[in-house]
């Protein structure tokens, strides 16, 4: 792994800490750039009261000087403003009588509460939920913002939009018809959809779910443009980029499904209607258009979602992520009380009605972390300039390969 990160922090603890290791030196970065992504994660119609309390911002702890990375681990902290309301409940030290208030004894179906108390042998499910909370994703978005900055240096754009919420889907939009860049258009909508008619329906659906004490899931699409052909590898399972992306996306709380390109639909069609024909995008003997991200080749269509054999094709990477509804219901489902073993209704904690719009922002972040890792794996470099030279050298070779077509003797294709 070339780029790695670790997060720490409980939802109602003092704050979230994240360490990102492996970025080259010389990457220009500001706290404002990171905070912009954190602010996007807090948006979304249907979020709970917590988002009114927090104003997520990072404080640099290490790894940055004069607005640039040093090549050393970058550490950041996001302070929880809500901490002042939880200092006693979440105190690191003190007797159980002093600290163990606001226990969670009635585990919520769908949450980590029950499996966590059994696995970690805890009595109070708060010991589990505090870390299982999607609050942790703020730290991942901060790490992802550094990866975004890194990818931007090489012209890579990463955006997302919501394609369904509460069972209501937007009208499908062809990849070529999506706005570029995607995020400013999606972020204008309270539910991060591009279709105003669908937006009104989704907002009404969220209002109804709120009245009914229910929650809603949905799907987001992440689109990544500007990656060169050749990231990832076909040679071993854990180097396949599709698997790495899917694993990272599946690790987002409440995510239950990931599709790449045509996804499940590809399983239902014959091969002739799935695979993207290969075409020449450049003229033999002339250099491939710079930057030669696809080496002179192109695809008719992008059912593969920009990945073949676990390797980028140079076409946009298209990922779809499905999130189940939040498991804290204000009209709770049946459960078992951890104190008595008797039947009960699950505990209700303050939560969101839906977090699908935020999930898209988080999906961008984790995708960017995987892609920045894949870029550094292929091109390496202790400084940004070194990474750039290595990438430029690779692209020059791709371009040269293309011009070599002309140099082949007639009939060479018969060999
Ligand atoms: C979240 C903070 C949490 C929840 C939500 C996401 O804050 P609190 O628990 O104080 O209301 O709003 O967490 C969950 C959905 C979950 O399942 O735990 C955040 O910062 O995104």
Least Cα distance to 362 among 240, 284, 249 occurs for 249
* For ligand 1, atom 19: residue with the closest CA: 135
For residue 393, count other CB atoms closer than 10 A to its CB. Answer: 11
Q: Which of 37, 10, 265 is nearest to 135 (CA)?
A: 10
**Gap between the Cα atoms of 309 and 181, Å rounded:** 28
Given the CA of residue 56, which atom of ligand 1 is nearest to it? 20
Q: Is 326 in the pocket of ligand 1 (CB under 6 A)?
A: yes
**Distance from residue 160's CA to the centre of ligand 1 (Å):** 21
Q: Digits of tens for pLDDT over the chain (415 positions)? A: 799 999 999 999 999 999 999 999 999 999 999 999 999 999 999 999 999 999 999 999 999 999 999 999 999 999 999 999 999 999 999 888 777 889 999 999 999 999 999 999 999 999 999 999 999 999 999 999 999 999 999 999 999 999 999 999 999 999 999 999 999 999 999 999 999 999 999 999 999 999 999 999 999 999 999 999 999 999 999 999 999 999 999 999 999 999 999 999 999 999 999 999 999 988 888 878 788 999 999 999 999 999 999 999 999 999 999 999 999 999 999 999 999 999 999 999 888 999 999 999 999 999 999 999 999 999 999 999 999 999 999 999 999 998 888 666 555 554 4
Q: Single out the residue of 106, 97, 95 nearest to residue 339, CA to CA.
A: 106
* pTM of the predicted model as reported, rounded to 2 decimal places: 0.96
Cβ(352) – ligand 1 distance below 6 Å? yes
Which atom in ligand 1 lies closest to the alpha carbon of residue 137? 21
Taking the CA of residue 358 as reference, the ligand 1 atom at the shortest distance is 21
One DSSP character per residue, 186-221 reads: HHTSTT--S-HHHHHHHHHHHHHHHHTT----EEEE
Q: Which residues 6+ apart lie within 8 Å of 99 measured at CB?
A: 88, 89, 90, 91
Residue of 43, 133, 329 best suited for mutating to test ligand 1, as the one with most atoms within 8 Å of CB: 133
- Judge if the beta carbon of residue 216 lies within 6 A of ligand 1: no
Residue 50 CA to ligand 1 center (angstroms) comes to 7
- List CB contacts of 298: < 8 A, sequence separation 6 or more: 278, 279, 280, 281, 314, 315
Atom of ligand 1 nearest to the CA of 328: 17
Neighbours of 122 (CB within 10 A): 14
E strand or H helix at 278: strand 278-280
Q: Rounded CA gap, 10 and 129, in Å? A: 9
List the alpha helices (DSSP H) in 255-383. 356-379
Measured between alpha carbons, how far is 79 from 9 in angstroms, rounded to an integer? 10
The answer to whether 28 and 149 are in contact (CB under 8 A) is: yes
Ligand 1 centre and the CA of 63: distance in Å? 29
No. of helices (H) and no. of strands (E), the chain: 11, 17
Instruction: Tell me the C-alpha to C-alpha distance, in Å, between residue 213 and each of 191, 208, 333.
Output: 19, 9, 11
Nearest to 155 by CA among 302, 312, 290: 290
CB atoms within 10 A of CB 345: 13
- Residue to mutate (ligand 1; options 10, 44, 48; most atoms within 8 A of CB): 48
Residue for token digits 């091109």? 379
Cα-Cα-Cα-Cα dihedral sign, residues 372, 375, 381, 386: negative
Is the shortest distance between the CB of 347 and ligand 1 below 6 Å?
no
Q: Is the CB of 11 under 6 A from ligand 1?
A: yes
- Structure-token pair, residue 154: 């090489």
Looking up tokens 């030279």 gives: 389
Residue 351 in contact with ligand 1 by CB distance below 6 A: yes
Question: Whose C-alpha lies nearest to ligand 1, atom 3?
Answer: 135
Separation of CA 72 and ligand 1 centre (Å): 31
| Residue whose C-alpha is closest to residue 2's, from 183, 295, 244 | 244
Q: Which domains does the chain have, with CATH numbers?
A: 4-390 (3.60.150.10)
Report, in angstroms and rounded to the nearest whole number, the Rg of the chain calculated over CA atoms: 24
Can you read off the two tokens belonging to residue 89? 């409940």
- Which residue has the CA at smallest separation from atom 16 of ligand 1? 133
Could you give the CA distance from residue 44 to residue 363 in angstroms, rounded to a whole number?
A: 15
136 alpha carbon to ligand 1 midpoint, in Å?
A: 9
**Residue 132 alpha carbon, nearest atom of ligand 1:** 18
Collapsing DSSP to helix, strand or coil, 137 comes out as helix
Mutate to test the pocket of ligand 1, among 10, 11, 138 (most ligand atoms within 8 A of CB): 11
CA of 262 to the centre of ligand 1 (A): 32
Q: Choose the residue to mutate in 134, 325, 354, 357 for probing ligand 1, maximizing ligand atoms within 8 Å of C-beta.
A: 134
CA–CA separation, 296 and 184 (whole Å): 31
């Amino acid at each position: 792994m070339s780029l790695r990160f670790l997060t720490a922090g409980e939802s109602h603890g003092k704050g979230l800490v994240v360490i990102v290791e492996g970025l080259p030196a010389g990457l220009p970065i500001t706290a404002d750039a990171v905070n912009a992504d954190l602010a996007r994660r807090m948006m979304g119609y249907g979020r709970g009261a917590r988002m009114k309390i927090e104003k997520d911002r990072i404080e640099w702890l290490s790894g940055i000087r004069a607005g640039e990375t040093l090549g050393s681990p970058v550490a950041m902290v996001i302070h929880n403003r809500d901490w002042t309301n939880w200092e006693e409940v979440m105190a690191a030290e003190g007797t159980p009588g002093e600290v163990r208030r606001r226990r969670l004894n009635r585990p919520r179906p769908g949450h980590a509460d029950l499996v966590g108390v059994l696995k970690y042998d805890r009595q109070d499910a708060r010991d589990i939920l505090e870390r299982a909370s999607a609050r942790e994703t703020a730290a991942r978005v901060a790490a992802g913002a550094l990866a975004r900055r890194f990818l931007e240096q090489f012209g890579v754009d990463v955006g997302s939009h919501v394609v369904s919420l509460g069972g209501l889907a937007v009208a499908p939009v062809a990849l070529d018809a999506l706005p570029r860049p995607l995020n400013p258009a999606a972020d204008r909508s309270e539910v991060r959809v591009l279709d105003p008619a669908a937006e009104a329906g989704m907002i009404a659906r969220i209002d109804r779910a709120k009245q009914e004490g229910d929650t809603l899931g949905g799907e987001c699409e992440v689109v990544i443009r500007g990656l060169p052909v050749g990231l990832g590898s076909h040679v071993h399972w854990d180097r396949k980029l599709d698997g790495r992306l899917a694993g990272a996306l599946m690790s987002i709380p409440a995510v239950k499904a990931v599709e790449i390109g045509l996804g499940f639909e590809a399983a239902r069609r014959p091969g002739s209607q799935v695979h993207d024909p290969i075409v020449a995008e450049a003229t033999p003997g002339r250099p491939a258009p710079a930057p030669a991200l696809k080496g002179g080749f192109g695809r008719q269509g992008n059912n593969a979602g920009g990945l073949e054999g676990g390797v980028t094709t140079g076409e946009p990477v298209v990922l779809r992520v499905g999130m189940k509804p939040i498991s804290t219901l204000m009209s709770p489902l049946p459960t078992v009380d951890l104190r008595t073993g008797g039947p009960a209704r699950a505990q209700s904690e303050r939560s969101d009605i839906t977090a699908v719009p935020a999930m898209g922002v988080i999906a961008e972040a984790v995708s960017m972390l995987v892609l920045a890792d894949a870029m550094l794996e292929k091109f390496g470099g202790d400084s940004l300039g070194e990474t750039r030279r290595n990438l430029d050298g690779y692209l020059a070779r791709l371009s040269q390969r293309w011009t070599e077509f002309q140099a082949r003797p007639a009939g060479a294709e018969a060999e």
